[in-house]
Chain A
Amino acid sequence: SQQGEEDPQALSIQEGENATMNCSYKTSINNLQWYRQNSGRGLVHLILIRSNEREKHSGRLRVTLDTSKKSSSLLITASRAADTASYFCATDESNTGKLIFGQGTTLQVKP
């Protein structure tokens, strides 16, 4: 079953702008992970945030987690054309340990 829901489904911005993607989920989690997928390729892990963390940074990426609202956001600052990809959130279910993926946000960064 798909737990995470990303919002928006698609996003188009100019190079240099910031991109924000949101993810909502339904059950309690151990952690939440964000992945990137370039067209026709496998998923690449970007960042993991634990359920007891509220914010995490990695380079131009900033992830927040609000467990009371069951939501997370991924911010990409100073976007580049190479950031064009689909971005997925995945929640690590507390009961099963399985990763549940959302439908993804397709990001297009125009040069």
Chain B
Amino acid sequence: DVKVTQSSRYLVKRTGEKVFLECVQDMDHENMFWYRQDPGLGLRLIYFSYDVKMKEKGDIPEGYSVSREKKERFSLILESASTNQTSMYLCASRKGLAGERETQYFGPGTRLLVL
């Protein structure tokens, strides 16, 4: 079974803090994704990565950055957390990308509260 793990289930941070959300997958997937999920807005793609050290902006990258130094690990960074970044953050991984038909696997989510 594919396993995608996230470093924390719940996080509470203060405005202005730097926040790291870690995601690890154990199936040698090339592609990894970060989403945020908010009531009424559904899942929105923040960033994705299709290879080590590669990254692509998703639909809402503002206020976030990412790091992919190793294939299995994809980190989401909030350089200076703000209250409007309070959300559920979901990491996902997938073997194939464009033109390939592959299942995307999700981690359990990190619920972040920024005070």
Chain A residues in contact with chain B, CB under 8 A?
Answer: 1-2, 30-31, 33, 35, 40-45, 48, 50, 88, 90, 92, 94-99, 101-104
Among B35, B42, B44, max chain A CB count under 10 A is at B42
Where the two chains meet, the residues of B that have a C-beta atom closer than 8 Å to any C-beta of A are: 4, 33, 35, 40-45, 48, 58-59, 88, 90, 92, 96-101, 103-109, 111
Choose from A1, A99, A102 the contact partner of B104 (Cβ within 8 Å).
Answer: A99
Task: Kindly list chain A residues whose C-beta atoms are within 8 Å of the C-beta of B103.
Answer: 33, 45, 48
Q: Which residue of the partner chain B has the closest CB to A52?
A: B101
- CA–CA, A1 to B101, complex, Å? 21
Is there an interface contact between A96 and B98, defined as CB atoms closer than 8 Å? yes
User: Contact between B42 and A40 (Cβ–Cβ < 8 Å)?
Assistant: no
B74 to chain A, nearest CB (A): 15
Closest to A93 in B: B98
